[in-house]
Amino acid sequence: MLKFNKENYLKVTLGAVGLRGEIEAKVDEISKKKFKNIFLLGSGGSIAIMYPFEYMLNSISTIPTYAEIASEFMLQNHKQFGEDSLVILSSLSGTTAETVAAAEFCKQRGATTLGLVGEMGTALANIVDYPIANYAENDFAADSINLQMYIVIFRLIHNNGEFQDYERFISQLEAIPNQLVQVKQDSDKKAEEFANKYKDETYHMLVGSGTAWGRTYAYSMCVLEEMQWIPTKAIHAAEFFHGTIEIVDENMSMILLKSEDETRPLMDRVENFANDFTKKLTIFDTKDYVLEGISTEFRKYLAPLVLATALQRVSIHLENKRGHSLDKRRYYRTLAY
Amino acid sequence: MLKFNKENYLKVTLGAVGLRGEIEAKVDEISKKKFKNIFLLGSGGSIAIMYPFEYMLNSISTIPTYAEIASEFMLQNHKQFGEDSLVILSSLSGTTAETVAAAEFCKQRGATTLGLVGEMGTALANIVDYPIANYAENDFAADSINLQMYIVIFRLIHNNGEFQDYERFISQLEAIPNQLVQVKQDSDKKAEEFANKYKDETYHMLVGSGTAWGRTYAYSMCVLEEMQWIPTKAIHAAEFFHGTIEIVDENMSMILLKSEDETRPLMDRVENFANDFTKKLTIFDTKDYVLEGISTEFRKYLAPLVLATALQRVSIHLENKRGHSLDKRRYYRTLAY
């Protein structure tokens, strides 16, 4: 596969699930201390990773959860937040300014903080009570953080007596890295065809729901816009029919990201519409991947991970076909603003 | 002013604040019965109206609040929701399918339901425990619902012992309809100039934060996309720098919606950037309006109302300059899907 180093990828993903013991020990300590609610904080890609876990927490657990954009959160004076809150943040570099500031803000107010980073000794790792480190290259960041987040969040829910299947789910997850390589292989041809067909497209509409919404939002903003400079609209499937529908015509590129969770009927409805009204429909569906060893009932949780993994192939091929490096920025670290 | 019937507008807005006594009696009854948390449900424009109130509740009150998209909410099995939840919904027609279904769903599960409608006897009014009706034409719907929502939400917070200024704030709000007419007059010239300058623009980026975010989301989706068929991106000011920034060049139309709340520094940062990097910057700022009789400390709450009022003038002029009726739909109630 183009620009894919399997060895590195397995090192990152096996590294992430390899932290299971360490994560469980830290999470168990947090659960023992008790906390009132969970704040998932981040910006851009790092808050987008949190949205599916907020959805899963709300669907499975009675622990009140709030996913908030870091810099707004610090200004808002959120009344649910306090010293009995558990705050979870992530930053691969460990230096993202708003994430570091948010961790500092929460620490000063006495909350318990857990941070996922790429390396110990970085600013975020130094601030949080519970740093967890797994080295990853930038293009595998989502996979690394997602894998760790499953262990963190489902352990918290399990400790709260609300997820009896924890042992089985996480054991299956430990064996997923090779399955994720398979996802990449199984999506690569489709990704290349997409890149070929749509390399000159000037606008994409992305639609997702439930556990796939976070990746829908992130792929629009952090890849197509940030890394390829292509304007997009990310719209939730439950919202699509309430306005955005009207800008669809047969030339609208629509990209549907489908999960196997409870909200799938919302996506089916959009898909039926898109089949009738645009000639440019692309669907990435977790259902298309085998995921050997994963029980059916756990597949609905895996959309963030599987879609990120598959879409990474789209990014690689877009970069190639469009001759636009994924690292190229007009502003970020290029111009002062 | 073009297509503005002052008499009708005052009838709608005075009608809304005129419900104060009735709303207070119903809310007081709800507060007396006790409830555990608030669910604000809706779709499209009606959930967008809820977002600022979710923000205000989180900033002022310890009552846990969840704003959720109606049709996703019904599938998700939200574990915070139950018979001790208070559910607030709105539908001007009283017939919006997903809103009616959500009310039915919540009622069956024993939750307390309050619904804002345009007319008694409609489906939503018949289902909810506490229907509140104020007749409004479609183009004044946001103003009508917003005004009632202030009374509902701040009364709930006040009853929870968390907003001592209730009497003063709502009394000032009762006198606001004439001030809103003034907002329309004060924004009309700017709205017409905007429509003239940007009538052929094929894409707009809208940026907002805090109490202005809901209107940012709604104006993008429910007006520019739905009523004018112009693709948009609505991006939160705290997220703008994390990806979307890269699609800005000097020809990008950026529309900034500024509130006077705590998150204003986030918008100032985007404004500074936009001043340097695009030639097509438009700002609608609540600070530009006098709002006689409104105390300074209450102005930050009024962004949803003031911006909706001002932007309605933009819609009217866009319709006129673009020769595209605000009522024209490609799909909704036109084609089966």
CB A211 within 8 A of CB A314: no
CB contact under 8 A, A43 and B243: no
**Cβ contacts of B92 on chain A, cutoff 8 Å:** none
Mutation choice for A interface testing from B53, B246, B280 by most A CBs within 10 A: B246
Instruction: Report the amino acid identity of residue A261.
Output: D
Average pLDDT, chain A: 97
Query: Which of B231, B238, B248 has its CB closest to that of A203?
Result: B231
Residue of chain A nearest B234, judged by CA positions: A233
Q: Using CB atoms within 10 A of its CB, is residue A203 exposed (0-12), middle (13-18) or buried (19+)?
A: middle
Residue B160: CA atoms inside 13 Å, Cβ hemisphere, count? Answer: 20
CB contact under 8 A, A221 and B230: no
Measure in Å the smallest separation between the Cα of B289 and chain A Cα atoms. Answer: 23
**Cβ contacts of A49 on chain B, cutoff 8 Å:** none
The structural domains of chain A, ordered by start, are 6-174 (3.40.50.10490), 177-322 (3.40.50.10490)
Provide the pLDDT confidence category of residue A44 given band limits of 50, 70 and 90: very high
H helix and E strand count, chain B: 13, 9
Provide the pLDDT confidence category of residue A146 given band limits of 50, 70 and 90: very high
For residue range B289-320, list pLDDT tens digits in order: 999 999 999 999 999 999 999 999 999 999 99
Query: Which of A79, A229, A243 has its CB closest to that of B44?
Result: A243
In DSSP notation, B88-103 reads EEEESSS--HHHHHHH
Q: Locate B165 and state its tokens.
A: 């200024």
Measure in Å the smallest separation between the Cα of A168 and chain B Cα atoms. Answer: 23
Provide the pLDDT confidence category of residue A336 given band limits of 50, 70 and 90: confident
ipTM value greater than 0.90: yes
- Asked if pLDDT for residue B335 goes beyond 90, the answer is no
**Cβ contacts of B71 on chain A, cutoff 8 Å:** 238, 266
**Cβ contacts of B210 on chain A, cutoff 8 Å:** 72, 75-76
Measure in Å the smallest separation between the Cα of B2 and chain A Cα atoms. Answer: 25
Q: Which residue has the higher pLDDT, A137 or B201?
A: B201
For residue range B125-168, list pLDDT tens digits in order: 999 999 999 999 888 999 999 999 999 999 999 999 999 999 99
| DSSP strand pairing (A232-236 vs A204-208) | parallel
User: How far apart are the C-alpha atoms of B185 and A116, rounded to whole Å?
Assistant: 52
CB B237 within 8 A of CB B212: no
Measure in Å the smallest separation between the Cα of A240 and chain B Cα atoms. Answer: 8
User: Residue range B174-181: average pLDDT?
Assistant: 97
Residue B303: CA atoms inside 13 Å, Cβ hemisphere, count? Answer: 31
Look-up of token digits 């029919």: A241
What 3-state DSSP class applies to B187?
helix
Provide the pLDDT confidence category of residue A264 given band limits of 50, 70 and 90: very high
The pLDDT of residue A333 is 84
Residue of chain A nearest B82, judged by CA positions: A62
User: Residue range A305-321: average pLDDT?
Assistant: 98
| DSSP strand pairing (A253-258 vs A37-42) | unpaired
Mutation choice for B interface testing from A71, A90, A156, A232 by most B CBs within 10 A: A71
CB contact under 8 A, B249 and A222: no
Query: Which of A75, A239, A263 has its CB closest to that of B44?
Result: A239
User: How far apart are the C-alpha atoms of A31 and A159, rounded to whole Å?
Assistant: 7
CB contact under 8 A, B78 and A59: yes
**How many beta-carbon pairs under 8 angstroms link A with B?**
181
Query: Which of B231, B243, B266 has its CB closest to that of A247?
Result: B231
Residue of chain B nearest A243, judged by CA positions: B226
Mutation choice for A interface testing from B93, B242, B326 by most A CBs within 10 A: B242
For residue range A59-75, list pLDDT tens digits in order: 999 999 999 999 999 99
CB contact under 8 A, A263 and B75: yes
CB contact under 8 A, A277 and B45: no
For residue range B218-268, list pLDDT tens digits in order: 999 999 999 999 999 999 999 999 999 999 999 999 999 999 999 999 999
Provide the pLDDT confidence category of residue B336 given band limits of 50, 70 and 90: confident
Spatial CB neighbours of B89, under 8 Å, sequence gap ≥ 6? B40, B41, B42, B46, B70, B99, B102, B103, B113, B114, B115, B116, B124, B128
Q: Locate A126 and state its tokens.
A: 């130094």
User: How far apart are the C-alpha atoms of A297 and B219, rounded to whole Å?
Assistant: 39
Mutation choice for A interface testing from B43, B62, B71 by most A CBs within 10 A: B71
- Asked if pLDDT for residue B195 goes beyond 90, the answer is yes
Residue of chain A nearest B267, judged by CA positions: A72
Query: Which of A72, A79, A330 has its CB closest to that of B266?
Result: A72
**Cβ contacts of A216 on chain B, cutoff 8 Å:** none
Measure in Å the smallest separation between the Cα of B199 and chain A Cα atoms. Answer: 16
Q: Which of B67, B143, B174 is closest to B315 using CA atoms?
A: B143
SS (H, E, C) B38-55: EEEEECCHHHHHHHHHHH
Measure in Å the smallest separation between the Cα of B93 and chain A Cα atoms. Answer: 15
Query: Which of B47, B76, B229 has its CB closest to that of A247?
Result: B229
**Cβ contacts of B238 on chain A, cutoff 8 Å:** 43, 69-72, 98
Residue of chain A nearest B211, judged by CA positions: A76
